[in-house]
Amino acid sequence: MEKSRQIELVVIGAGPGGYAAAFRAADLGKQVLLIDRDPELGGVCLNRGCIPSKALLHICKVMEEATNLEKMGVKYGKPEIDIGKIRDYKNKIVSQLNSGIAQIAKARKVETVQGLASFVSNTELKVQTGTGDVSVTFGQCIIACGSSSAMIPGLPTDHPSVITSRTALNLDDVPERLLVIGGGIVGLELGQVYAVLGSKVSIIEYLPNILPGTDPDLVKPLQRKLKKQCEAIQVSSKVTKVEPSQNDTLTATIKKDKGSSKEVFNKVLVSVGRKPNTGLLNTEATDVKVNDSGFIQVDVYQRTSVKNIFAIGDIVGDPMLAHKATHEGKVAAEVASGHPAAFDVRAIPSVVYTDPEVAWAGL
């Protein structure tokens, strides 16, 4: 790749929003450069989120259905779990979808580059690649660089047994006891996976209900199921400290209304939400407005405070959903190409892919 480039439209981030924007812009006649820091396209959703988690949840659902058949007169033996083969199955699905996106990019003549992009000005990027820095001057830019797992201050994040959704999906092993900090969508989905695979799972949620913000009536059937599958579900509780213990275990201090207790776990999964990746962009070099939480401010056309720079997906705020990012990407690409389009937030569907599933649509 040349050390200096001029591109009509640059998309930063190749997740569901980024590649959707790139493909739509290319369809509308734009010269498009798609930049991502990872070697594979697809972003968190495909590589370390939605897709691998759904692959694992499918396995767990089939295991549960086989167990439940005993009530109907069909009995199977205890399942033998080969964690390596499960991991291979999950990785194969991800790899197939990676290849599909790469082929679509090639067919649409969307150029892809692996590198870390940061702004130099309102019309220029510096892209750090494996072969050196590249200066990219652009006419328009769509920011789609997503989010990453938020962490709780004070946790030993460098300890190998403190994991996030990213590392939990690597499925290195099935811990005997797993503490899940956070009873939101990610915590419940991964907690259920590990519970079905054999872990004794405890879920701790700071707020009074799991799936905070969701209609409690929708959550009740799932809560009943999780109480049977998990060792414990504690709401209105807080993990105040996690300390390394003997034999690579971790001791967690859990605070409740009636005091606190200490419990020992083999692994701790932190799933307390996500934070935008704006810190990587050097937006200070531009006139793009970022709020106090790190989210880029946009209008209904996905345009930032700089008329030639757009932003979509997790980096513009909640809900952090792949299909929301995809639609925002389509809107941004169409507006950038001179077509009328706007994003309507009134009816965004959301699904929790646990067993049973929970779904809703609207504000």
Q: Is 337 helix (H, G, I), strand (E, B) or coil?
A: coil
Q: Give residue 24's Cα distance to chain centre.
A: 23
Query: Are 93 and 213 contained in the same domain?
Result: no
Residue 283 CB-half CA count within 13 A: 25
Domain count, the chain: 2
Please give the DSSP secondary-structure letter assigned to residue 277: G
Query: Are 172 and 258 contained in the same domain?
Result: yes
Query: Residues of the chain with pLDDT > 70: what percent?
Result: 99
Query: Are 268 and 295 contained in the same domain?
Result: no
User: Which tops the pLDDT comparison, 76 or 191?
Assistant: 191
Please check the confidence at residue 210 and state whether its pLDDT lies above 90: yes
Residue 256 sits in which domain range?
A: 162-272
Query: Are 178 and 131 contained in the same domain?
Result: no
Q: How confident is the model at residue 322 (pLDDT cuts 50, 70, 90)?
A: very high
Query: Are 216 and 257 contained in the same domain?
Result: yes
- Please tell me the predicted confidence (pLDDT) of residue 286: 96
Q: Using one digit for the tens of pLDDT, what is the confidence trace for 244-278?
A: 998 889 999 999 988 889 999 999 999 999 999 99
Query: Are 268 and 327 contained in the same domain?
Result: no
* Cβ neighbours of residue 311 closer than 8 Å, sequence gap 6 or more: 142, 143, 144, 288, 296, 298, 302, 304, 332
Q: Quick check: is 156 in a domain?
A: no
- Please tell me the predicted confidence (pLDDT) of residue 257: 83
- Please tell me the predicted confidence (pLDDT) of residue 154: 79
The pairing of strands 116-121 and 124-129 is antiparallel
Six-digit token string for 6: 């001029």
Range with the largest mean pLDDT of 160-164, 177-181, 214-218, 316-320: 177-181
Can the peptide bond before residue 16 be classed as cis, meaning omega within 30 degrees of 0? no
* Cβ neighbours of residue 65 closer than 8 Å, sequence gap 6 or more: none
Which of 272, 296, 322 is a domain's end point?
A: 272
Which of 218, 244, 272 is a domain's end point?
A: 272
Which of 251, 272, 293 is a domain's end point?
A: 272
CB 201 within 8 A of CB 178: yes
Please check the confidence at residue 169 and state whether its pLDDT lies above 60: yes
What's the whole-number mean pLDDT along residues 137-155? 93
For residue 220, give the CATH number of its domain. 3.50.50.60
Mean pLDDT, all residues of the chain: 93
Query: Are 9 and 89 contained in the same domain?
Result: yes
Q: Quick check: is 157 in a domain?
A: no
Query: Are 83 and 142 contained in the same domain?
Result: yes
Query: Are 108 and 191 contained in the same domain?
Result: no
Q: Quick check: is 141 in a domain?
A: yes
Q: How confident is the model at residue 2 (pLDDT cuts 50, 70, 90)?
A: low
Tell me the pTM. Answer: 0.92
Please check the confidence at residue 287 and state whether its pLDDT lies above 90: yes
- Please tell me the predicted confidence (pLDDT) of residue 46: 93
Q: Using one digit for the tens of pLDDT, what is the confidence trace for 112-135?
A: 999 999 999 999 999 999 889 999
Query: Are 174 and 239 contained in the same domain?
Result: yes
Query: Are 10 and 77 contained in the same domain?
Result: yes
Query: Are 324 and 187 contained in the same domain?
Result: no
